[in-house]
Structure 1
Amino acid sequence: MTSLTVRMGRAAAAPDPAVDLTGGWAPQTWLGAPAPGGLALPSATPTRAWMYSPRGVYFDDRYLVVADSGNHRVLAWHGLPDRDSQPADVVLGQPDDTTEGRAAGGRGPENGMNLPTGVLVHDGRLIVADAWHHRILVWHTVPETDWCPPDLVLGQPDFGAVEPNAGTECSAATFYWPFGVAIIGSVFWVADTGNRRVLGWRGGLPEPGRPADIVLGQPDSASREENRGESVGPASFRWPHAITGHEGLLLVADAGDHRVLGWTPPPDGDRPADRLLGQPDFHTAGEWPYGPQRGDRFRFPYAASMDAAGDSTRLAVADTANNRVLVWDGDIWTGDDAWDGRAADHVLAQPGFADNGENRWSAVTPDSLCWPYGIWLHGDRLAVADSGNNRVMIWRRT
């Protein structure tokens, strides 16, 4: 690996040591190549321990799964890694742990991937959004060996087909850049980013070829314009990218409109959102790229993750272009206006809510971020796919 300091600029203002803005969150485990003193560059030859622009992460008590997007593969650990740079146990999408390139280095899409992003394990099944192959791949069990082929493909007629919208017109059974997946209650949701919509299937994972029961964000299943071809509003998306929530709430990270939209309860058809974070109202899509940032604004929020346990609820949002993660604590998701517009309680990877520099305009450190694309909350741990630093960081709340 080559370490190179590529950015030196103005130093971020030193935080007040008397104010803890992290809420007790601190990095615990570093997965990927270390980069003391500079930017973490990807290895010329992949290994089980190094990554290139990871964009999705999932973990629970049994597995950690990473979409190693730039290497066009998925890495899986059986058990949560407990040491820095721990190699993955399983490599999927490539024939071995040193091959890279789209479609298994040119071997074909049947067992290869093209920029995988969203990853999820649900009821023992592994689900992968193979975004640039415009499909969802499903393994009935989390593989224990490398190069294990998927069992199901959604959005394409077979494992060899990779055209946008299955080479046909947009429909309720096709995808164009599906980036995010989630199962909330009994509904399987897909952020169909290139079609600027979210699709939902009642009853969980559907059989291949079954059209979605819910098309959210477009007037019908054949439409795919940004923001429904109109000005931004409460029933439209620009780049829906990640989905989270619980049985009473659906949240969608609409990265292109710099906001998170919410529905209470989750919709059973196309209808306007009734919850909003990141913008002053449903008809604003400002980026605010210059000047001090705030705890109630986003710049390209590509990921969101909610963890609800008992009476407590926590939400984390990857505020990607601001190089930080924002965290909201508490059961703030009920009531008519309990959380709309509320600033985050905590900020990770920046000294304060006003700051937004890549790696704080300095060198890579365990608690800095550069374009975090994916996050996952589970109890008092948070995994961050730190894409620009080619690593995954596992944080813990102490």
Structure 2
Amino acid sequence: MTVPELADHPADLSGGWVPDVWIGAPAPGGLALPAASPTMAWCYSPRGVHLDDDHLVMADSGNHRVLIWHGVPERDEQPADVVLGQPDGTTEGRAAGGRGPERGMNLPTGVLVHEGRLIVADAWHHRVLVWNEVPRESDRAPDLILGQPDPASIEPNRGTECSANTFYWPFGIDVVGGRFYVADTGNRRVLAWDGGIPETDRPADLVLGQPDPAAREENRGGAVAPNSFRWPHDIAGTDELLLIADAGNHRVLGWPQHPDADRDADVLLGQADMGSAVEWPYGPQRGDRLRFPYALALDSGRLAIGDTANNRILIWEGPFTDGRPADHVLGQPTMAANGENRWSGVDRDSLCWPYGLSLHGDRLAVADSGNNRVVLWRRQ
């Protein structure tokens, strides 16, 4: 594949995307470290975000909590309305500051609102939490727990062998094509349930990336392949398409039709072929390379990938299954650049390890983890 020279691209590679609202500590010119006592407006290393017409939901991962805004924030540093995982807006620490996992969290990552329900991947408690409605009061316990036998249990794989209803670091979640998908990162696989969010203890209908429900070796115990994962981390798609960010292999895999069984991917972004997992940590980058892509978002035919270790977001307009380079880049001045905050000061449009994305029409929410903030972008 021939990669266009940078001179072939317009001078402004952003495609009209501009930062609009900044949630988190203000830090023009320099990184703001998280406060010892958090607030409802500050965050520490957020790793997941969800945006729709009615909500902004942030996985404030470093503070082991989830923040919820009812209504999309309209001003910088706007405080959240609800906190989950902690007793109040100023407490931090794993498992609700030591109270226990019944209402607490440990490095929550994936967040999603689907058909009025809130779903949270409580990654280091090895479970997925579900609220039957988006809470309007803080410190509410979940209505449903997936991956553990009870609210107090937090062992990886339920303290036993890997199976079709256990998790080890579930980082990514989504409902795509009527299925509920979980990126079960520590087990190097993706699980799926037909019919949407399942009830507790129901085994997954599909195990993708491993030969059977008990297997959990990275890349199936061998070389990288079109049916293997190293660190599957995020999921996106449509009724016809499934995309999975295989962050540890520096690629995105795709299935143009949702698989009914474990099988090879047909679509590849970020690598030259299905047997490659090259990082390219040094030297100029390109619009068709990825380095630890932790985040995916797809909406209305537009694909955004959080190219995390390259400190940028790549955006494709229209078809992207031919492996062509991205159309736009956010956070960097060129497709070749990859410095943290452009090797300069923190600015509204700079990025440092963007770890989570949510694309909703002409709005894009970015969990800019290294800068301890979420930034809402809009397309002019």
**What interval of TM-score do these two structures reach, taking the shorter chain for normalisation?**
over 0.9
Unaligned residue ranges in structure 1 (runs of 5+):
1-14, 334-338
Could you tell me which amino acid in structure 2 is paired with residue 323 of structure 1? N
Q: TM-score, normalised by structure 1?
A: 0.93
Q: Secondary structure at the match of 1:360?
A: helix
Unaligned residue ranges in structure 2 (runs of 5+):
1-6
Which residue of the partner structure matches residue 251 of structure 1?
243
Q: Secondary structure at the match of 1:359?
A: helix
Which residue of the partner structure matches residue 74 of structure 1?
66
List aligned pairs for 1:235-250, cutoff 5 A. Answer: 235-250=227-242
Q: Secondary structure at the match of 1:352?
A: coil
* Structure 1 residues 339-358: Cα deviation after superposition (integer angstroms, max 9, x where no partner): 23210000001000000000
* Structure 1 residues 113-144: Cα deviation after superposition (integer angstroms, max 9, x where no partner): 00000000000000000000000000000000
Which residue of the partner structure matches residue 354 of structure 2?
372
- The alpha-carbon deviation at position 150 of structure 1 amounts to 0.4
Question: Residue 197 in 1 paired to residue 189 in 2?
Answer: yes
Which of 272, 277, 286 matches 2:264? 272
Which residue of the partner structure matches residue 312 of structure 2?
324
Which of 194, 205, 209 matches 2:201? 209
* Structure 1 residues 68-95: Cα deviation after superposition (integer angstroms, max 9, x where no partner): 0000000000000000000000000000
- The alpha-carbon deviation at position 18 of structure 1 amounts to 6.1
Which residue of the partner structure matches residue 84 of structure 1?
76
- Mapped to 1, the partners of 2:249 and 2:34 lie a distance apart of 30
List aligned pairs for 1:18-33, cutoff 5 A. Answer: 19-33=11-25
Question: Residue 349 in 1 paired to residue 349 in 2?
Answer: no
- Mapped to 2, the partners of 1:370 and 1:20 lie a distance apart of 20
Which residue of the partner structure matches residue 168 of structure 1?
160
Which of 103, 109, 128 matches 1:111? 103
Asked if the contact 1:152–1:208 (Cα under 8 Å) also holds between the matched residues in 2, the reply is yes
Question: Residue 128 in 1 paired to residue 120 in 2?
Answer: yes
- Mapped to 2, the partners of 1:213 and 1:227 lie a distance apart of 21
- The alpha-carbon deviation at position 370 of structure 1 amounts to 0.3
Asked if the contact 1:182–1:189 (Cα under 8 Å) also holds between the matched residues in 2, the reply is yes
Q: Identity over aligned residues, as a percent? A: 72
Q: Secondary structure at the match of 2:271?
A: coil
Which residue of the partner structure matches residue 64 of structure 1?
56
How many residue pairs get aligned? The number is 375
- The alpha-carbon deviation at position 17 of structure 1 amounts to 11
Distance 1:18 1:171, change over 3 A: closer
Question: Residue 181 in 1 paired to residue 173 in 2?
Answer: yes
Which residue of the partner structure matches residue 336 of structure 1?
none
- Mapped to 1, the partners of 2:9 and 2:205 lie a distance apart of 51
- The alpha-carbon deviation at position 20 of structure 1 amounts to 1.6
Q: TM-score, normalised by structure 2?
A: 0.97
- Mapped to 2, the partners of 1:59 and 1:291 lie a distance apart of 34
- Mapped to 2, the partners of 1:144 and 1:59 lie a distance apart of 17
- Mapped to 1, the partners of 2:29 and 2:358 lie a distance apart of 27
* Structure 1 residues 138-165: Cα deviation after superposition (integer angstroms, max 9, x where no partner): 0000000110110000000001000000
Distance 1:149 1:285, change over 3 A: same
